Structure 1
Amino acid sequence: MKILETKRLILSTWTRKDAADLYEYARNPNVGPHAGWKPHSDVRESRRIIKTIFRPHNVWAIRDRENGRAIGSIGFDTDKYRPNINSRELGYSLSEAYWGKGIMTEAALEVIRYGFETMKLDMICICTGPENKRSQSVIRKCGFTYEGMLRKAYRIYDGTLRDVLCHSLMKEEYYGN
């Protein structure tokens, strides 16, 4: 997995040693439930997430350049709504201590650049819940176009069905054509 760098961040592979950092922010009930996952219950759970989800799916750890700590995650997943198109779905999470500082927008712009310029994607999509205003702000700042809402399209960790707001960014829009 390629290491990506920005002014304030290093995006790199998750390691087993990052489990404590992941647990530190993923246990917060203000973080996971916005994305539909439950707060982590202990470091073992965070270690399992790194091993079974982050590493196999090439999810980057978002690291604070100053101290090297993992403060969030970002990565691409299969675009389940466009299976026959060269498209990926962007997903991310960030420690509440770093909210409101432009960190996620900075990380997302770098991953979007990588997606179009290196992976040669035709489209990147992102879906979020109507209540997740912070994510919607990042999505707007990154230039995505709102496509619409899918009603009751996402089942979260507690079994509740949620609506999702769908957005996309096409390579022509990214390159300004």
Structure 2
Amino acid sequence: MKTMETERLILRPFRYTDCEDLYEYAKNPNIGPNAGWKPHESLEESKAIIKKFIEEDEVLAIVWKVNNKVIGSLGLHKDHLRSADNVRMIGYVLSEDYWGKGIITEAVKAVLAYAFTELNLDLVTVHHFAYNEKSRRVIEKCGFHYEGTLRHCTKIYNGNTYDLMCYSMTRDEWERLYA
């Protein structure tokens, strides 16, 4: 994906030099479980994740302009719950130190513009576990429409199964909100 800039953020492909920043937030037990993954246990684990991000080219580093630090990530992935080709799913995580500042909302809005104007997608989806209220608020602020709940949908790393709240936005809806 291409590099994007907002008022406070730079959204860019990950680099191997981002390993320490990624590990710093990914080891926090309040981060990974909200997205369904286990907290990172080592710098090597974070390095392997960055390698995957670079190879797949679906995830951007969220860089805080004030200190040039990677404070989270935002991905635009194939939505495995849908068979249509022109659909992608947004996923994101953010360092707990930066929660409550509207950062993910700002990043998601930038990626939505890219998704609909440059990738010409028809639909962008986003999901969150039922217990993740912070993510729900971001999704609603961005203007996504609630589609429904897939009950007992996702089993995560610890063996627990959770309901998945599903939302989407069409290109027409995005144009009415933002264009």
Aligned to 1:63: 63
TM-score, normalised by the number of residues in structure 2? 0.95
CA contact 1:57–1:77 (8 Å) conserved in 2 = no
Matched ranges for 1:78-157 at <5 A:
78-157=78-157
Query: For residues 105 and 37 of structure 1, do their structure 2 counterparts lie closer, same or farther at Cα, with a shift above 3 Å needed?
Result: same
TM-aligned CA deviation for residue 54 of structure 1: 5.3
Contact 2:31 2:93 in 1 (8 A): yes
Partner of 1:19: 19
> For structure 2, which runs of at least 5 residues remain unmatched after alignment?
none
| Cα drift, residue 53 of structure 1 | 3.9
Q: Residue deviations 1:103-145, cap 9 Å, x none? A: 0100010001110011000000001001000000000000000
Query: Could you tell me whether the CA contact under 8 Å between 1:54 and 1:60 is conserved in 2?
Result: no
- Shift of the 132–54 alpha-carbon distance from structure 1 to 2, 3 Å rule, reads farther
The unaligned stretches of length 5 or more in structure 1 are none
Note the aligned Cα RMSD (angstroms): 1.2
CA distance in 2, matches of 1:29, 1:69: 20
* CA displacement 1:32-66 (0-9 Å, x = unmatched): 10111010001110000111245414200000112
Count of residues in correspondence between the two structures: 177
Please tell me the residue identity of whatever aligns with 2:140: R
Task: With the length of structure 1 as denominator, give the TM-score of the two structures.
Answer: 0.96
Runs of 4 or more consecutive aligned structure 1 residues displaced over 4 Å after TM superposition: none
Identity of matched residues, %:
46
* 2:161 is the alignment partner of 1:166: no
Give the secondary structure class of the aligned counterpart of 2:56. coil
SS at match of 1:91: strand
Partner Cα separation in structure 2 for residue 88 and residue 57 of structure 1: 13
